[in-house]
Structure 1
């Protein structure tokens, strides 16, 4: 599974755990809902670390907590073209 899909799945998982929908998380994170939707639905293939940090802040977690997941830990590096 590619990293973009893992990030999308992780955001959705954390939203469910924290009781957020896309719009409420975007509001908490201080980012436009379209930005979050583009990440979740695969239109943004490379969300920046600052955006991920804002999402984490909105969820009340650290970046470490975001990536502290078995799927990220077992992720095989991707080829960069």
Structure 2
């Protein structure tokens, strides 16, 4: 899987865990809905660390916790 797809999957997983939708994530994180939608639909190949930081803050977790998932293990990432 491409890294941007893994990031989108991780965000979706966290939304399910915390029972929130994209709008709820927007309210919690302050990241614009268009940006959240772009990330979740893999419109761009990359996401800035600032956006990931703000999304993580919206979930009430650190960046370390965001990336602490088997999804980000090397064997799951295509170059």
TM (norm. structure 1) is: 0.89
CA deviation string 1:8-32 (max 9, x = no partner) = 0000000000111001101110111
The number of residues matched between the two structures is 78
* 1:27/1:33 contact within 8 Å kept: no
| Segments ≥4 residues shifted beyond 4 Å | none
CA deviation string 1:2-58 (max 9, x = no partner) = 101000000000000011100110111011111000000111221100000000000
Q: Which has the higher contact order (CA 8 A, sep 6+)?
A: 2
* 2:71 matches 1:71: yes
Q: Structure 1: where are the runs of 5+ without partners?
A: none
Q: Structure 2: where are the runs of 5+ without partners?
A: none
* 2:25/2:55 contact within 8 Å kept: yes
Larger Rg: 1
